[in-house]
Structure 1
Amino acid sequence: MAPESTTATGSGEPSRTLALLWGDPSAAPRRKGPGRSVTVEQVVDAAIALADDQGLGAVTMRAVAERVGVSAMSVYTYVPGKAELLDLMVDALYLRMERPAWRRSLWRTRLTKVAEANRQLLTEHPWLTEVAALSRPPLGPGVMAKYEHELAAFDDTGLSDLDIDAALTYLLGFVQSHARSAHDAARATTDTAMSDAQWWEANQPILARAFDPEAYPRSVRVGSASGEAQGSAWSDERAWRFGLARTLDGLAALIDGD
């Protein structure tokens, strides 16, 4: 059996993974006995549902087998191991993303839509931030369709092919980083059963002593202004709007020039 500690794409045996991603019959392990009762797609959907409901840690080959109604051993005749399963899960979600045709618009509008679509995907499936590696994506039909669509958002920018690839990676890197921060903030609220406002209120006596305006004049001034404006030390929406704007500003220096 394959180890179940894998938590990143691109960790499986490449040829076997690619064959599975592209539906090559040779990828299916040979087996004796009656025909298959479920499909690889059903196995992948069951794994995605487990990750969405209970987190990535709940996705084991045994748990997936139970959800689709096959034995723990027979699930390996559909997918060789968890490494390959993770690649299939990521690629399946990428394949299902909406890809409306790019209409004539400013490049900044198109890239904003790319960022927002990826943010929505990572919000709906938080575990993706743990496994979707930019350096080793599963090169299946979902990844290729997503990549082609997002590259097209750079049409008419005048960038070279290398710069387009780097610019897209830069944009998606910001989205992934923000999504991780948002997930961490949401998890902190869930784990403590307290909103940010409740946490700050509960710790106000200690904070009042710690935040000495004479010792930390900038921290007190800026922290107070931010806290009052956001209702907490960090705002998901404000961080998203500010960070995305600055990311696009950085690309503007490359695309539009000085």
Structure 2
Amino acid sequence: MRWSVERAVVGVVDGGTPSERIAGELRRRIAAGELKPGARVPSTRRIMQEWGVAMATATKVLNRLREEGLVRAVPGVGTVVAAPASAGAPAGAAVPVSAAAPAPAPVKAPASAPVRDAGRAAAATGVRRGKGGERDLGRERIVAAAVRVADTEGLTALSMRRVATELGVATMSLYRHVPGKDELVRLMMDKVFGEQPIPGGPVSDWRTGLAEVSRLQWRIYRAHPWLASTMSFTRPVLAPDAALHTERAMAALVGTGLSGEEMAQASVSLAAFTCGLAVHFEREAQAEQDSGLSADEWMDRLADEDRDRLMADPERFPMFDALARGPEIDMSLEALFAFGLERMLDGVGALIEARGRAGRDG
């Protein structure tokens, strides 16, 4: 039934993939003026609901329209219709939102949202046209463009074609410098880990040294929300600048009485905790883009009766009931990271103390 509805709505003959048919319908709406420049187009979740397709298909639809210059991503707003190409203005350039499609109300970024500088914000307004084109193309320039795309549009929007569009070059020209997307992502990881150098010199104590590394990783993940989802602690990729973080953490534990295995496990466990919590940066950025609401604004709009209904049974949820009656508590990502990091370090400290007692008793 969903397939029949989709075919009827899209209004095209059989043939082509679902993403092509949906993209064709959205092109028709844009061409007919139903979606005017500056108007929000359906989000990935809306496409999934309206046409009954998977997230991957919905993502392909928006990526295809971005590559064609018909839409552009605006952080905190969503994907909007781009201005028609005109002399002196490339397709996808930023334009004022039309009167028929009023601009969404400005939203306040949550405390956990990634901090983007003016250069990244400018990247979200449309396709960048790199100076020099293919003549000046090199690996470093390609990787920098890929990071811009991932920072502003998310990792799902990243493709070799999308990076080529960002640079204003032919897609195939990228392959002379980078063999494919997997290698590109590896290079992106190494680049962003190397953006903020690890402090050198000896640390005053092991706890300070470990905390320093973890907080640095947290800042990097916050600046690049897509990064945490690319990390693997079972199949790590060769990224020297990322490996330096583990090297520094293990060095901080030298002389504590831990074995080499324990130093490695403690260092990687801390990195995994930081990464696992940082995954929510990307999820929140996507949710904010789809809804146009920050986490705080979303909570404010959650009806009081819905919250009351969730906690309507104090016998079943006595702890939640007690919390609801007390002062407001901070459950932001920043607060959870700060609390969790200290408790992780407490655990390492307990292990170091145990090893010290064993050595004294022995």
**Range of TM-score over shorter length:** 0.7 to 0.9
Specify the code of the residue in structure 2 equivalent to 1:43. I
Shift of residue 242 of structure 1? 1.5
Aligned-CA RMSD value? 2.6
TM-score computed with the length of structure 2 as normaliser: 0.55
- Residues 36-75 of structure 1 show CA distances to partners (whole Å, capped at 9, x for unaligned) of 6411111111111111111112211011122233311121
Matches within 5 A, 1:1-258: 37-185=136-284, 187-189=286-288, 191-192=290-291, 193=293, 195-196=295-296, 199-200=299-300, 202-224=302-324, 228-230=328-330, 234-257=331-354
Specify the code of the residue in structure 1 equivalent to 2:172. M
Specify the code of the residue in structure 2 equivalent to 1:196. D
Shift of residue 144 of structure 1? 4.0
TM-score computed with the length of structure 1 as normaliser: 0.75
Aligned residues: 222
RCO greater where, 1 or 2, for CA within 8 Å and sep 6 or more?
1
Specify the code of the residue in structure 2 equivalent to 1:228. E
| Same amino acid, percent of matched pairs | 32
For 1:84 and 1:152, the matched residues in 2 are separated by 29
* Structure with the higher fraction of residues in helix conformation: 1
CA distance 1:210–1:44, change in 2 (3 Å)? closer
- Tell me if the contact between 2:213 and 2:245 (Cα under 8 Å) persists in the aligned partners: no
For 1:112 and 1:225, the matched residues in 2 are separated by 34
The gaps in structure 2 that reach 5 residues or longer are 1-55, 57-133, 358-362
- Tell me if the contact between 1:91 and 1:138 (Cα under 8 Å) persists in the aligned partners: no
Tell me the equivalent position of 2:72. none
- Which of 1 and 2 has greater Rg? 2
Specify the code of the residue in structure 2 equivalent to 1:216. R
CA distance 1:207–1:92, change in 2 (3 Å)? closer
For 2:192 and 2:143, the matched residues in 1 are separated by 10
For 1:194 and 1:149, the matched residues in 2 are separated by 35
